[in-house]
């Protein structure tokens, strides 16, 4: 630790020298990983402490990624993690706790990815871990019914007014695969309407105009998806009810239902218009079609009852994931009893899973939801996220950049474009090259954000005011350098 003390007053040349010295030290701090704090001690007296930290380095991450690319496609287990759209190699995580992540080189980050949404109470929360450890002593998987499934299912039913029955799966993708089959089984129709830029997992029928990782990699559709699978998927424009009506008109009596994200998180962060959702519900009713809210990302994230509670819309079916697993692999599809009873073994529509409803995931979900149900939870998430996103937007605009964005509770996002962004076509106008530079600058300053312009960010209950202020300060520094 190095302390520098300078006394100066009036127009004394030492004033200029002192200010210059402090500025040079400040600049050096960002390039060398120093942390400066200035404290006035008396009139004209400046004392500056310099905390020397190791510079940002990725030697071990780079080595591990070189090895990973030889043994796994692209070196990752999920495409967006590869940093393709932001350049450079990804950092390899070693551990996480609360609002923070540490990589294998010892770099510490304020994390706004939160394992892509599940870590809403913070990483490795002691209450959740203690419960999981206690459950683990009884076994990791039963392959048989367990009481924990009942408990978590009842919590979901109590939280979400539209839900009367629940089927657990192991991921959001699996939940969306199940709900797609259920839509068709219930209506005896094949065609499904989705929206440009909405991602519902990697099932063949959904990898059409899917946003998220598909957009990040520049793949409009995925090779290997058959014409038969994609032909039954109709694509409308988000926030454009006329595009939905046109598809129903052109496919009279053939549309099983409509599926959408209640807030788009896979094209960045795009908020639906209330009138759009209200009319969409009516259009589905008028055409005998099922309305499905994909709440894998928004469920228990933007409110305890999800996007549907936030908007006051009642879908027929919903999918969940992420938060209800508390950081362990989980998914669920749920809805009206008369529809859900089509699912085997109650009905003829088959879907199964070896690890579905396993006790560890159920326990983590139960404990997480207990925390989320406590008074003030969502008010805290909203307050902290509001401060963060507005601080970032203000910093960007002050530096002369075209930026827009917003948040709902603990979910946020912004774009390098003037906006407004109402659909994926609007999001695609963003300056992704500038975002890539911004992302790298923030990473090097200890702020971990989603490595894609087309992904939302997430706040947790563990983030502090100091974390937010640090993030905004770093954002100002990076914006000034772009």
Tokens of 143: 């392959």
Q: Fill in the DSSP letter of residue 189.
A: -
Please count the other Cβ atoms lying within 10 Å of the Cβ belonging to residue 228. 9
Closest CA to 381 of 110, 108, 112, 101: 112
Neighbouring C-beta atoms of residue 144, cutoff 10 Å:
6
Cis peptide before 48, with omega less than 30 degrees from 0?
no
Q: Active-site residue among 196, 294, 426, 467?
A: 294
| Burial classification of residue 2, based on how many CB atoms lie within 10 Å of its CB (0-12 exposed, 13-18 middle, 19 or more buried) | exposed
Residue 473 CB: number of other CB atoms within 10 A?
Answer: 13
Q: In what order do the strands lie in the sheet with 108-111?
A: 93-97, 100-103, 108-111, 447-448
Q: Give the distance, in angstroms, between the CA of residue 402 and the centroid of all CA atoms in the same chain.
A: 23
Burial class from Cβ neighbours inside 10 Å (0-12, 13-18, 19+) for residue 175 reads buried
Check: CB of residue 133 under 8 Å from CB of residue 122.
no
**Cβ count near 348 (within 10 Å):** 9
Instruction: Given the residues 84, 322, 387, 422, select the one marked as catalytic.
Output: 322
Catalytic residue among 109, 112, 186, 199: 199
Burial track 149-167 (b if 16+ CB lie within 10 A, e otherwise): beebbebbeebbebbebbb
199 assigned to active site: yes
For 439, residues 6+ apart whose C-beta sits below 8 A from its C-beta are 86, 449, 451
**Token digits for 70?**
């030889």
Half-sphere exposure of 343 (CA within 13 A, CB side): 25
Give me 167's structure tokens: 């089927």
Distance CA 153, CA 322 (A): 15
For the chain, the farthest-separated pair of C-alpha atoms sits apart, in whole angstroms, at 87
Q: Verify whether residue 294 is a known catalytic residue.
A: yes
Pairing verdict, β 191-195 and 233-236: parallel
> Quick check: is 350 catalytic?
no
User: Contact at 8 Å (CB) between 392 and 181?
Assistant: no
Which of 133, 122, 203 lies closest to 169, judged by CA? Answer: 203
β strands within 8-52, DSSP E: 34-42, 45-52
DSSP string for residues in 258-287: EEEESSB-SSS-BPPPHHHHHHHHHHHHHT
List active site positions: 199, 294, 322
């Amino acid at each position: 630790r190095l302390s520098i003390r300078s006394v100066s007053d009036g127009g004394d040349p030492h004033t200029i020298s002192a200010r210059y010295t402090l500025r040079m030290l400040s600049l050096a701090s960002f390039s060398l990983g120093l942390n400066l704090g200035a404290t006035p001690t008396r009139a004209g007296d400046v004392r500056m402490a310099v905390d020397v930290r190791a510079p940002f380095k990725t030697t071990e991450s780079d080595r591990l990624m070189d090895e990973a690319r030889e043994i796994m496609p692209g070196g990752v287990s999920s495409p967006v993690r590869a940093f393709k759209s932001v350049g450079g190699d990804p950092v390899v995580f070693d551990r996480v706790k609360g609002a923070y992540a540490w990589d294998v080189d010892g770099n510490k980050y304020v994390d706004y990815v939160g394992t892509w949404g599940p870590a809403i109470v913070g990483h490795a929360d002691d209450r959740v871990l203690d419960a999981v450890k206690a459950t683990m002593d009884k076994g990791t998987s039963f392959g048989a019914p367990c009481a924990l499934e009942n408990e978590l299912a009842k919590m979901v039913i109590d939280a979400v007014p539209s839900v009367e029955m629940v089927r657990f799966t192991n991921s959001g993708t699996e939940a969306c695969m199940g709900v797609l089959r259920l839509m068709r089984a219930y209506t005896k129709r094949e065609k499904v309407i989705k929206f440009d830029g909405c991602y519902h997992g990697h099932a063949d029928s959904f990898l059409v105009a899917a946003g998220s990782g598909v957009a990040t990699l520049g793949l409009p559709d995925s090779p290997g998806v058959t014409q038969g699978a994609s032909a039954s998927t109709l694509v409308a424009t988000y926030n454009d009810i006329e595009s939905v009506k046109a598809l129903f008109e052109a496919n009279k009596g053939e549309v099983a239902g409509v599926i959408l994200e209640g807030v788009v998180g896979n094209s960045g962060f795009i908020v639906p218009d209330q009138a759009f959702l209200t009319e969409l519900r009516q259009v589905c009713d008028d055409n005998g079609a099922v309305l499905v809210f994909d709440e894998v990302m928004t469920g228990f994230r933007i409110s305890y009852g999800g996007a549907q509670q936030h908007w006051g819309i009642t879908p027929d079916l919903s999918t969940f994931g992420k938060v209800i697993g508390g950081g362990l692999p989980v998914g669920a599809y749920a809805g009206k009893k008369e529809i859900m009873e089509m699912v085997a073994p109650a009905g003829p529509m088959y879907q199964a899973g070896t690890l579905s409803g396993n006790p560890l995931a159920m326990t983590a979900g139960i404990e997480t939801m207990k925390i989320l149900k406590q008074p003030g939870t969502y008010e805290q998430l909203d307050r902290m996220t509001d401060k963060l996103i507005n601080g970032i937007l203000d910093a960007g605009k002050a530096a002369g950049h075209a930026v827009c964005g917003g948040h709902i509770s603990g979910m946020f996002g912004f774009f390098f474009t003037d906006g407004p962004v109402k659909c994926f076509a609007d999001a695609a106008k963003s300056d992704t090259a500038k975002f890539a530079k911004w992302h790298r600058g923030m990473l090097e300053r200890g702020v971990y954000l989603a490595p894609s312009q087309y992904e939302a960010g997430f706040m947790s209950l563990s983030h502090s005011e100091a974390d937010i202020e640090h993030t905004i300060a770093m954002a100002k520094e990076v914006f000034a350098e772009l």
